[in-house]
C-alpha cells in the first residue's frame, strides 16, 4: 500500500482576505510590478529573497497567490501576544537569529514536507538602505537536508532605496536553483556559505536587471 500523501495546509480566512485587500491598497500607495524569469514550479521549493520592509512577506504572498507561503520570522515579532497570534495565523513561525535554532529548522522541514512553500529572507534582517546584505546559510542548509530547489527572488524599489510609499516596486523571480547546483556534498560550513553566496549572486542579478529597467523607464 502506498503511503498517504500529506495535504498542504489550508489558507485561512485572514490569509485569503489579505490576498484580496492588500493588492488594492498597494495599487494606490506602492504600485507593484511582477516579473518572472523562469517557470514557477508546482512542487516543493524554497523562496530566498532580500528583505527591505515589513511588507515583503505580503509582496511574496501576492506573487505566489496560488500557493501558501510560510515564512521564517524573527522571534522578537512573536513576543507580542496579539502580533504573534496574527503572524502564526498566516503560517509564519519564529526563528532565533544569531545561533543555530534547531526547532525552526525542523518546522521549516515540516512546511516543505506538507507541500507548502517555505519563505526565507536570506539576509536574516531588513536592509535599512535597500542595499543587499551578507547572506545567511540557513536556507542552503534546509535545501540540502530536504533536497529542495531554491527560487531566488528580489524586491526592488525604484531607485533602490528602502523607501516604499508612492515608490514603484518590482518583485522578480529567477530561474530555479536545483539542490545539486548548490555544490553541497558533506554539509560543511564552507559549502553552505558558498551555496548562500551563489543564491545571493542570483538575487543580485535580478536586482541589477530591475534597477536597469527602472532607469530605462525614466528616459
Asked if pLDDT for residue 185 goes beyond 90, the answer is yes
Within 10 Å of residue 67's Cβ, how many Cβ atoms?
18
CA distance 68 to 44: 11
The tens digit of pLDDT for each residue in 29-57 reads: 989 999 998 888 888 999 999 999 888 98
**pLDDT tens digits for range 101-123:** 788 889 999 999 988 999 999 99
Q: Which residues contact 157 (CB under 8 A, 6 or more apart)?
A: 52, 130, 163, 164, 167, 168, 169
65 three-class SS: coil
This prediction has a pTM of 0.89
CA distance 27 to 110: 34
The span from the CA of 124 to the CA of 115, in Å, is 24
H-only helix segments in 55-188: 56-63, 81-89, 102-113, 138-146
CA angle 15, 46, 115 (to 5 degrees): 60
Amino acid at each position: 500500500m502506498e503511503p498517504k500523501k500529506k495535504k498542504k495546509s489550508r489558507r485561512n480566512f485572514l490569509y485569503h482576505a489579505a490576498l484580496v485587500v492588500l493588492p488594492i491598497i498597494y495599487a494606490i500607495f506602492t504600485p507593484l510590478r511582477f516579473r518572472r524569469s523562469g517557470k514557477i514550479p508546482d512542487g516543493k521549493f524554497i523562496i530566498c529573497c532580500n528583505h527591505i520592509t515589513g511588507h515583503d512577506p505580503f509582496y511574496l504572498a501576492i506573487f505566489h497567490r496560488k500557493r501558501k507561503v510560510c515564512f521564517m520570522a524573527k522571534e522578537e515579532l512573536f513576543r507580542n501576544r496579539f502580533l504573534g497570534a496574527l503572524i502564526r495565523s498566516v503560517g509564519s513561525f519564529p526563528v532565533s537569529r544569531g545561533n543555530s535554532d534547531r526547532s525552526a529548522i525542523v518546522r521549516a522541514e515540516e512546511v516543505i514536507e506538507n507541500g507548502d512553500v517555505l519563505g526565507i529572507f536570506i539576509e536574516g534582517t531588513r536592509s535599512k538602505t535597500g542595499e543587499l546584505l551578507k547572506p545567511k546559510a540557513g536556507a542552503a542548509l534546509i535545501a540540502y537536508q530536504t533536497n529542495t530547489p531554491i527560487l531566488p527572488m528580489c524586491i526592488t524599489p525604484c531607485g533602490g532605496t528602502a523607501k516604499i510609499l508612492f515608490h514603484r516596486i518590482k518583485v522578480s523571480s529567477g530561474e530555479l536553483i536545483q539542490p545539486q547546483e548548490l555544490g553541497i556534498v558533506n554539509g560543511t560550513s564552507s559549502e553552505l556559505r558558498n551555496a548562500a553566496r551563489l543564491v545571493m549572486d542570483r538575487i543580485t542579478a535580478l536586482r541589477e536587471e530591475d534597477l536597469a529597467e527602472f532607469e530605462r523607464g525614466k528616459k
